[in-house]
Structure formats: C-alpha cells, structure tokens
Amino acid sequence: MVSKPDFLSGSGQDQFRPELQLESPEGELHLRFFISSQQEFALPATGIREVIELSPDRITPIHNASPLLLGTLNLRGRLIWVADLGQFLGESTPLNTDRSDIPVIAIEDQDTIVGLGVEEICGMDWLDVQHLMPTNNVSDAMAPFLRGEWLLNQTNQCLRLLDQTAILRSARWAG
C-alpha cells in the first residue's frame, strides 16, 4: 500500500520545515560590475539581453570611429556595436583590451542592442530601488545615465544604478 506524502497529510497547517524554506528576495534583480576606474555599477536584469566574455579578436575594430567604440560583434547573427562603458560615461581610463577575455553586457530596449565592455562582472544581486539615494560627486558626462546610488557600507562606497534606456537613446552615439 502506498501512503500519502507528508505534505498531503496533516491538519492543514504548513508542514514544511521553516529551515528549508527560501527567503523571498526584496527588490529587483540587478547585474553588478566594475568599469576601468574601479567604480561599481548595476543594471536591471530586465534590460539585459546577454552577458558574455569574449576574446578581443571577436570584436572587429572600426577605423575612424569614436574612441568610445571598441568595434562590432556578431551576436547570434546580429551585428551590434560594442562600446567602452567607462569612456561612454566620461571616464578617462580606457578599458584594458590586452587580455584573454573582455566582459560584454548586451543591453536591449525595443529593437536596439548595444554591447557594453566592462572591466569585471561581479554577479547578480537583489537590490531594492526604493532605497536609492540621489547621486553625489558625479561628472556632468555621467549624470544623465544614472538613476541613483546605494551606499554599501560605512566606508561610503557606492553602487550606482545605470539607466540602460538613457544609454541606448543617447545622442553620444552619433558623436
């Protein structure tokens, strides 16, 4: 005779063991990463199409293009631009492309996709946008692309939230 599993029997109260239940995350899922100047940023996961690490020779340089553009990349049959995110945000330190792999974050809005070359991917994290604070001490070149920042600890390190729609629709791509 087959008996009912434990979770189907009982008095109707929750039979699950509390120590095995997962906490429900607070906030929204974000990708955290560093640019060349070692500033940390985040992007909402909902606007990210793909995160890839690829060798620099897979990015085809375009001569006489803006210095913030690293070149183009064939992403699953679609040609996309790849930019140095740090230089796009006005940083003077260029992305180190003399290494085995470059992390690229492909962001998408409607039918537009752009690859953003970054220094290092930190991982995914649940962040509550209700705790965002106004940005402090940012350049005029960076300010239009920020939605706010979180203070991470008592040393006043901050994690800045980027607005991928503002990045994709920027007139900076034309220059």
Segment 16-40, tens digit of pLDDT: 544 544 455 778 999 999 999 999 9
Position 136 scores a pLDDT of 85
Q: Using one digit for the tens of pLDDT, what is the confidence trace for 29-68?
A: 999 999 999 999 999 999 999 999 999 999 999 988 888 8
Q: Which of 17-26, 121-130, 148-157 has the highest mean pLDDT?
A: 121-130
Tokens 């064939």 locate to 74
Residue ranges of domains in the chain, CATH in brackets: 25-174 (2.40.50.180)
Position 151 scores a pLDDT of 86
pLDDT band at 148 (very low <50, low <70, confident <90, very high): very high
Q: Using one digit for the tens of pLDDT, what is the confidence trace for 86-104?
A: 999 999 889 999 999 999 9
Position 31 scores a pLDDT of 96
Query: What's the pTM value of the predicted model, to 2 decimals?
Result: 0.82
Higher pLDDT pick, 155 / 127: 127
- From its phi and psi, is residue 27 left (phi > 0), alpha (psi between -120 and 50) or beta? left
**Nearest-angstrom CA–CA distance, 151 and 69:** 31
Contacts of 20 (CB under 8 A, 6+ apart): none
Neighbours of 11 (CB within 10 A): 5
Could you tell me whether strands 158-162 and 40-44 are parallel, antiparallel, or unpaired per DSSP bridges? parallel
**Nearest-angstrom CA–CA distance, 116 and 168:** 10
Q: Tokens standing for 19?
A: 């120590």
Position 20 scores a pLDDT of 46
The rounded radius of gyration (Å) of the Cα atoms in the chain is 21
**Nearest-angstrom CA–CA distance, 32 and 117:** 13
- The amino acid present at 131, given as its one-letter code, is H
**pLDDT(84) > 50:** yes
